[in-house]
């Protein structure tokens, strides 16, 4: 699965919603600010410029720009780290307490059959559906690169 395909499956309105939810403070705190600025091809990165760039970002995602998809997914997820922690705790996936698990960790063993729908059902209504579906697919991507996109 490609993350760009995940964004395409979510649709452009969901991308716009997710981009609006990106926190510049979180990007700075997690040292992702400069990487997103470069990957988004923005001379100045702020919420307004990022929001205005969304149509061009969408075009690049549809054209399968995986690096952009990875940076956008990370930017969205660190902006919602409380949600990430809640999902990992719900699934029983070991992490460092702030939502990160070690690279190469065998998270697939914690993702029991039907976990995607259980996460969607558990967090729907408390968090935006686009965010939930993005994270489900991000975890799926981490566990199995060949997995199909979960559309919900």
Domain count within the chain: 2
pLDDT at res. 145: 77
Q: How many angstroms separate the CA atoms of 147 and 79, rounded? A: 25
Q: Do residues 48 and 109 both lie within one domain?
A: no
Q: How many angstroms separate the CA atoms of 104 and 55, rounded? A: 34
* Overall pTM surpassing 0.85 (yes/no): yes
Of 51, 78, 105, the one marking the end of a domain is 78
pLDDT at res. 101: 76
| pLDDT over 90 (residue 149) | no
Q: Do residues 20 and 62 both lie within one domain?
A: yes
Nearest C-alpha neighbor of 99 from the set 84, 89, 110: 84
Q: Do residues 106 and 53 both lie within one domain?
A: no
- For 14-59, the pLDDT digits (tens) are 999 999 999 999 999 999 999 999 999 999 999 999 999 999 999 9
Question: What is the number of other CB atoms lying within 10 angstroms of the CB of residue 31?
Answer: 9
Q: How many angstroms separate the CA atoms of 16 and 128, rounded? A: 12
Q: What range defines the domain where residue 51 resides?
A: 3-78
Residue 152 forms part of a structural domain: no
């Amino acid at each position: 699965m490609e993350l760009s395909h995940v964004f395409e499956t979510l649709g452009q309105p969901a991308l716009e919603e997710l981009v609006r939810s990106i926190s510049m403070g979180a990007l700075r705190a997690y040292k992702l600010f400069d990487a997103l600025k470069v990957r988004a091809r923005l001379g100045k990165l702020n919420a307004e410029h990022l929001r205005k760039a969304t149509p061009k970002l969408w075009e690049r995602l549809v054209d399968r720009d995986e690096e952009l998809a990875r940076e956008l997914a990370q930017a969205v997820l660190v902006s919602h780290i409380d949600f990430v922690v809640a999902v990992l705790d719900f699934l029983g996936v070991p992490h460092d307490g702030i939502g990160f698990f070690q690279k190469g960790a065998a998270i697939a063993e914690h993702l029991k059959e039907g976990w995607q729908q259980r996460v969607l059902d558990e967090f729907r209504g408390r968090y935006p559906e686009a965010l939930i579906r993005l994270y489900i697919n991000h975890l799926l991507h981490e566990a199995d690169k060949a997995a199909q996109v979960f559309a919900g």
